[in-house]
Every structure is written in C-alpha cells, then in structure tokens.
Amino acid sequence: MSLFNVAKFGGTSVANFEAMSRCADIIENNPNTRLVVSSACSGVTNFLVELANGISDQAQRDQILKRLDEIHQAILNQLEDANETSVAVSHILETVSHLAEAASIQSNKKLTDHLVACGELMSTHIFAQVLRERGVKATRVDIRDVLRTDSQFGKAEPNLDQIKSLAQQHLIPMCQDFVVVTQGFIGCDEDGNTTTLGRGGSDYSAALIAEAVEAEGLEIWTDVPGIYTTDPRIAPKATPISEISFSEASEMANFGAKILHPSTLVPALRHDIPVFVGSSKEPEKGGTWIRHQVESSPLFRALALRCNQTMVTLRSVEMFHAYGFLAKVFEVLAKHKVSVDLITTSEVSVSLTLDQTDTSGGAPQLPEQARLELEKLCTVEIEHNLCLVALIGNNMSESKGYAKQVFSTLEDFNLRMICYGASPHNLCFLLHESVSKLAIQKLHQDLFEY
C-alpha cells in the first residue's frame, strides 16, 4: 500500500477562488495528499446538462455560455499569472459552444458526455494553477488517460484492470514529484470517447483512483462536516455521525443520500481504504470516518431520501395462482435493459420502481417498446413524482416493534409502496414528492431527536 492520500473536492468546494484556496490549505496541511480529484465549479454541470439536452434558441444558449464564462473568469481574475490557464479554459468553452449548437439540432448520450465533461476539464486547469501560485509543485493530469470505462454514456462502468495498469503507468510516477490534480466524474472508453459515471460521480472517480493507486486513505471534502443522520437541509436538527460502517454508509448512498455517489464505497470496501468525509469550509469541525469496524451499530442510523422515482404497476388476473407471469415480465424488462430497483407483489399485481437515471437527469422512463410489450401481458400504469424514503440501521430484521413506531409516525401519510424485511439494514417506502420532506422531518423527530 502506498503512503499517499487521495482528496476529492466537490463543486461548492471549488466554486470560487476563496473556496479553492481553502482546499489548497487542506492539501498543503497533509503532505501525503498527492492526488487531488476535483468536481466542476458549483453550478457548472447543471448548465452543461441544460445545453446538452438541446436549447434551440441561440440567445438562451449564449446566456448560459456567458454565465459559464463569468464563473471561470471570476477565478482567473484572481490569479497572478492566468495567461496559460485562461487560454486552456477558453478553448474548452469554445468546445462547449460547438457541442451545445450540435445538441440543439440533435442531442444524444455520447454528445452529452462530451459536453458535460467540460466542467471538470476547466476547473482542474484553474485549481492546479491556484496550487502552483501558492508554491505547491502541482500538475494537471487528464484522467481520461487513466479512467477507462465501457461505452454506456451517462452511466459508464469502469474497467478496473485497465484503470489499475494505466494508473501505474501515468499517475503513480507523477505523484512522486507532483501533487496531481485531476478530474472526477469523467472517463474514456476504448475508442477514445469521453464518458461520465453519472451525476455526483466525482466521489466514485476518487474511490476508483484511490483503489488503483492503493492509497492509504480517501478524503471526500464537501460542504457539510460529515455524514449526518439525514440531509441537514431537510431536517436542521440532524447531527453528524463521527464513525459509520461501510455497509451503513453504502446503504445511505444507495438510497439517495446525495453526500456520496451510490458506488463510491465499493472500491474503498474492496481495498479496505478508510474514507473520511468533511467540510472544506470548516475542516476544523472534523467529519465522518467510514470504516470496516466501528464501535457502535445502532438500530436506527440515518434516513435517506431519493426523489424522481418512477413506479410501474402491472395488473393481470392471469397472475392469480399462475406461474411464469413474473418471468415473462422480467424477460421484457431485461430485453429492453430496464433495471428494476424495488418490487412488491400481490396476487394480481406487481409494482416496481425503475433504477436511477444517468447524467442527463430526470426521472427514469420505461422505454416505449417495453411498455407496448408489457401491455400484451397485462395493464401497465406508470406514476411519477414519487420519492423513496429509507430508514437505515442495523439488525433491523431481528428487532421487534420498531415498525410500529415508524408507521404510527407516518399514519397520516399515503404510503405507495413498502419494502420491509428483505434487508436487515433498511425499511423503505415510496410516497408522493409533495410530502416526502415532511415524512423525513417527522421520522427524524421521532426516531433521532430525543
């Protein structure tokens, strides 16, 4: 195992010059930090996604391009020697402009990835220069030379063996001499096309890189001092968790806690790399350690919320006491590459939620062809505007009585789907978006604030 540490900084952490300077302090304070993984400056990816989805009105496109220029220019203006960095950023903005025009004619996933990757490509040019101007021997590496993925644009899968060997060729030798600043979120397929790992993917990139270089630690620097009992923006009385197990934190990430991309902990767990989550604005406040072994395993650990859920309900009286119906349904779903997240069944119906969406955003959609084929088997009802609330904890399947407490807190809510018992680590349910935050607040109050 190498001695070095990988530090990832999210969008708000690199939002402007002051924020980048705070990150530079953090990097300088730990001489073992040799690899820095950065997101795009705050708000940039959202703008790029808008452009990638296709804006036909040129004035509207120009407005967004102007905002993108302003965000980066504001930081460049504070550099002592911005020349080369400015040129590099301008080139990327030109690419953005061309791709946005192409997307306005016809958008597609490959083009989207090429376009949205530009945010990280710009921020890292600037971040490396901020570090150099403070006297840090820093260099920028294009992670597309290392982070090899398949060609599933928008949610690409990493090729671990290739990443490891490319990291050994291109990253590790650099880290001997430099603090290497590189991009999160983006990768490259076999054919040289730019890919992305899905929204929020920089956490995952950092973990993949940490795994490939066998880092001793991974730090995720964000805008909150650690992982809380729930999103503190929803429940202001949420409290930070000082230590949490990989499995609890993975459940939280999978169930939508935005603080970590769902796949982040998979590489860290594989290589037993401890992960620290803290605030780049208030590093003195400490944060959360995610480890294999933890001292306490409470029954209730946290609440997570995942919105933009799509529920598909399939009804058929032929299902009653028959066999093979579900097999046929899943055959259709598999044929159309529809990934199912949750599922509940009754004698004559089955409800399922569709797995999360890719970089282009929005609720996952049941492909039209899949719907038509399912309609030959049963009636198909599709509902949007739903959110999934998950209560995460330990030994839940062996504990008596807690479900009563949960459901009495939620007695006034219309729960659309409940998944209970399949996992010892969670109880989750689907409800309408308009009441989901209230449900989190009430559950937090009753289960965590005493």
| Binding range to ligand ASP, per CB under 6 A, among 50-58, 74-82, 196-204, 417-425 | 196-204
Closest residue to bound ligand ADP by CB: 10
At 329, is the secondary structure helix, strand, or coil?
Answer: helix
Of 102-110, 187-195, 198-206, 299-307: span binding ligand ASP (CB under 6 A): 198-206
* Backbone dihedral region for residue 444 (phi beyond 0: left; psi -120 to 50: alpha; all else: beta): alpha
Structure tokens at 429: 């349910």
Q: What is the contact surface with ligand ADP in residues (CB under 6 A)?
A: 10-13, 39, 200, 222-224, 227-228, 230-233, 257-259, 302
Q: Under the criterion CB under 6 A, does residue 119 sit at the interface with ligand ASP?
A: yes
Element (H, E) at 71: helix 58-76
The Cα–Cα gap between 215 and 218 comes to 7
Residue type (1 letter), 123: S
Please report whether residue 187 would count as binding ligand ASP according to CB under 6 A. Answer: no
Distances (CA, A) of 395 to 87, 301, 367: 56, 11, 38
- From 37-45, 79-87, 173-181, 288-296, give the range in contact with ligand ASP by CB under 6 A: 37-45
**Count of residues in contact with ligand ASP, rule CB under 6 A:** 12
182 is a site residue for ligand ASP (CB under 6 A): no
- CA triple 293-447-422, angle to 5 deg: 60
231 is in an annotated binding site: no
Q: What SS3 state is found at 152?
A: coil
243 forms beta bridges with 289
Report the chain's terminal Cα–Cα distance, integer Å. Answer: 43
Q: By C-alpha distance, which of 242, 240, 291, 241 is closest to 268?
A: 291
Distance CA 281, CA 40 (A): 17
Distance (Å, whole) CA 425 – CA 449? 20
**Applying CB under 5 A, which of residues 158, 184, 200, 287 lies at the interface with Mg ion?**
200
Task: Identify the residue among 114, 125, 140, 199 touching ligand ASP (CB under 6 A).
Answer: 199
184: contact with ligand ASP by CB under 6 A: yes
Q: Which residue has the tokens 């055959």?
A: 331
Is the CB of 290 or the CB of 311 nearer to ligand ASP?
290
| DSSP bridge partners of 432 | 386
The distance of closest approach from Cβ of residue 107 to Mg ion in the complex, given in angstroms and rounded to an integer, is 24
Asked whether residue 276 is marked as a ligand-binding residue, the answer is no
Closer residue to ligand ADP in complex, CB, 211/231 = 231
User: Is 45 a binder of ligand ASP (CB under 6 A)?
Assistant: yes
Annotated binding site for ATP: 8-11, 222-223, 228, 233
Annotated binding site for substrate: 45, 120
| Site of interaction with ligand ASP (CB under 6 A) | 10-11, 39-40, 45, 119, 184-185, 199-202
Annotated binding site: 8-11, 45, 120, 222-223, 228, 233
